[in-house]
Structure 1
Amino acid sequence: MANNATVQGIDVSHYQGTVNWTAVKNAGIGYAFAKATDGNTYVDTQFQTNWAGIKAAGLLRGAYHFYESNDDPVTQANNFIKTVGSLATGDLPPVIDIEAYKGDFGSTTLVANVQTWLNTVEQALGCTPMIYTGPSFWNQYMNNSFSRYALWVAQYGVTQPKLPNGWSKWTFWQNSESGTVAGVTGNVDTDIFAGSMADLQAFARNK
Structure 2
Amino acid sequence: MSYKAKLVITAACIVSFLGGFCLTPLEHFIKNIDLSGVTDSTFVSSSAIKNLDLNTPEDGYNAWISPKGNLYMGVWEKGNLRYGTLITEKSVYEGELLNLSPHGYGIMYYNNGNIYKGNWKVGNKEGIGLKHNYDGSMFFGHWRAGLFNAPKEINHKVEDFVYGIDLSKYQNSKAISWNNLALFSDAEGEVYAHPHDDHQYMHPVTFAFIKATQGVNTDPHYDNHLANAKKYKVIVGAYHFFTIDDDVNSQINNFIKNSKWEKGDLPPVLDLESEYRDQDAYIKKLRKYGVKKMQDDALRWLKAIETCYNVKPIIYTSEVWKKNFLNNSEFENYEFWLSRYYNVKPASFNPWTFWQRTCDAKPNGYNSVVDVNQFNGTYHSFMLYRSALNHKIR
Contact kept, 8 Å, 2:169 with 2:220, in 1: the verdict is: yes
Could you tell me how far apart the structure 1 residues matched to 2:253 and 2:338 are?
Answer: 24
1:115 is matched with 299
Equivalent residue for 1:134? 318
Count residues with an aligned counterpart. Answer: 199
Task: Name the larger-Rg structure.
Answer: 2
Q: Deviations over 1:12-44 (max 9, x none)?
A: 11211023322226851111111111012x111
Instruction: Pick from 258, 264, 285 the counterpart of residue 83 of structure 1.
Output: 258
C-alpha deviations, 1:120-150, integer Å up to 9, x for none? 1111122110000001112111213312211
Alignment partners' CA distance in 2, 1:148 and 1:142 = 12
Indicate the SS of the match to 1:61. strand
Amino acid at match of 1:23: N
**Is 1:31 the equivalent of 2:207?**
yes
Determine which of 342, 354, 374 is the counterpart of 1:192. Answer: 374
Judging by fraction of residues, say which structure has more strand.
Answer: 2
- Checking the alignment, whether the CA contact within 8 Å between 1:70 and 1:105 is kept in structure 2 is no
Q: Which of 1 and 2 has higher RCO (CA within 8 Å, sep 6+)?
A: 1
SS in 1 for 2:212: strand
Structure 1 residue 20 and structure 2 residue 187: aligned?
A: no
Match of 2:85 in 1: none
Match of 1:153 among 338, 342, 364: 338
Task: Indicate conservation of the 8 Å contact 2:238/2:261, yes or no.
Answer: no
Unaligned runs of 5+ in 2: 1-158, 183-201, 275-282, 390-394
Asked if 2 retains the 8 angstrom alpha-carbon contact of 1:27 and 1:181, the reply is no
Task: Tell me which residue corresponds to 2:149.
Answer: none
The answer (yes or no) to whether the contact 1:71–1:105 under 8 Å persists in 2 is no
Q: Give the percent of matched residue pairs that are identical in Structure 1 and Structure 2.
A: 32
Counterpart of 2:25 in structure 1 is none
* Residue 201 (structure 1) shift: 2.0
Structure 1 segments of 4+ aligned residues over 4 angstroms from their partners: 104-108
Q: 2:360 aligns with which of 158, 178, 192?
A: 178
Query: How many angstroms does 1:158 deviate by?
Result: 4.7
Partner of 2:220: helix, strand, or coil?
Answer: coil
Residues of 2 paired with 1:74 and 1:202: CA distance? Answer: 33
SS of residue in 1 equivalent to 2:181? helix
Q: Is the 8 A contact 1:92 1:203 kept in 2?
A: no
| 2:237–2:261 Cα contact (<8 Å) kept | no
Partners in 2 of 1:27 and 1:141 — Cα distance? 35
CA 12–79 in structure 1, closer or farther in 2 if over 3 Å, else same = same
The CA distance in 2 between the partners of 1:190 and 1:111, in whole Å, is 27
**Of 98-107 and 130-139, the range deviating more from structure 2:** 98-107
Residues 105, 124 of structure 1: alpha-carbon distance in 2 compared, 3 angstrom cutoff = farther
- Give SS of 1:189's match: strand
Against the structure 1 CA distance between its residues 105 and 200, is the aligned structure 2 distance closer, same or farther, given a 3 Å change threshold? farther
SS in 1 for 2:364: coil
Give the TM-score of the pair, scaled to structure 1.
0.86
Q: By how many angstroms is 1:107 displaced?
A: 10
The TM-score, its normalising length taken from structure 2, stands at 0.47
